[in-house]
Amino acid sequence: MATGVKLRVAFIGSGKVANELALIFLFKGIEITGISSRNHESGNSLAERLNCPFMADPNELKADLIIIATNDTSVKALNTTLKTESDVVYTAGVVNLADVPNGNWGVFYPLQTFTENRHLTVDEVPILLESKNIELQNKLEALCEKIGFQYEYCSSVDRQKYHLAAVFVNNFVNHLFHKAQVQLQENSLNWDMLKPLIEETVAKLTDFSAFDSQTGPARRNDQSTILTHESLLSKEDVNLYHVLTNSIQKTYTHE
């Protein structure tokens, strides 16, 4: 597909990923022909925002490309129930394309976290692509270039590894932020005091590896500080502190 050819796109799903991608597509001039979702309320709401029809039955969608922006379980279910001649891609992180028998399916995986009412720019959403045929691969490449996405071809196995790494740097780290917020709130302390530290922790990764950037009592084996920290924590949080401290200490065993 040449970059200048118009591409009609439809979405299955009406969650955070579907909303963000659809709005980016619309802003970049991609024609969106329909939305289908098991959640009729959110599906109709998204369709209204996009000025396109809502269709309860995804088999009624008419498009050159259908994007399934749902969880992994729904993708697997749609693999058997969706009957269409359109090309189909899904945004799920760990569904292996080799397990999908349909020859016109592929992957359009945004390697990013999406939050309701928080919008991202195109250059903040890298895309991992995979396809079962060269025609769909060319179509996905042209779509990314038209919108301006940074993209990379990636096997299902490598995408699963990217997804795992993303869980570490986003989901797990965010949970640790939550633990810190709770600990400060319980002691009437100011979360804003930690924001420069958070920003510097991430900024350092531009110039150094995470291995070289590591600091703190676990790396320097400061047992006095570690014991003091543990005395301030609940039993559940002490276990988490132990796991992370032990992992850091094993990483720097030979120092």
Domains of the chain, by residue range, sit at 8-154, 160-251
- Rounded Cα–Cα distance for residues 170 and 174 (Å): 6
pLDDT in tens, 152-207: 999 999 999 999 999 999 999 999 999 999 999 999 999 999 999 999 999 999 99
- Rounded Cα–Cα distance for residues 147 and 129 (Å): 15
The residues that bridge with 153 in the sheet, in sequence order, are 129
Q: Residues 12, 69: contact at Cβ < 8 Å?
A: yes
Q: Is the pLDDT of residue 255 over 80?
A: no
Single out the residue of 195, 189, 175, 182 nearest to residue 243, CA to CA.
175
The reply to whether domains 8-154 and 160-251 share a CATH topology is no
pLDDT in tens, 89-142: 999 999 999 999 988 999 999 999 999 989 999 999 999 999 999 999 999 999
pLDDT at 3: 47
pLDDT in tens, 9-66: 999 999 999 999 999 999 999 999 999 999 999 999 999 999 999 999 999 999 999 9
pLDDT at 5: 57
The residues that bridge with 88 in the sheet, in sequence order, are 66, 105
Q: Residues 105, 132: contact at Cβ < 8 Å?
A: yes
Query: To the nearest whole number, what is the mean pLDDT of the chain?
Result: 95
Structure tokens at 209: 């590896």
CATH code for the domain defined by 8-154: 3.40.50.720
Percent of the chain with pLDDT over 70: 98
pTM listed for this prediction: 0.92
User: Residue 87: exposed, middle, or buried by beta-carbon count in 10 A (0-12, 13-18, 19+)?
Assistant: buried
Strands (E), the chain: 8-12, 31-36, 65-68, 87-90, 105-110, 127-131, 151-153
What is the number of other CB atoms lying within 10 angstroms of the CB of residue 199? 10
- Rounded Cα–Cα distance for residues 43 and 19 (Å): 10
3.20.20.80, 1.10.1040.20, 3.60.150.10, 3.20.20.70: CATH of 160-251? 1.10.1040.20
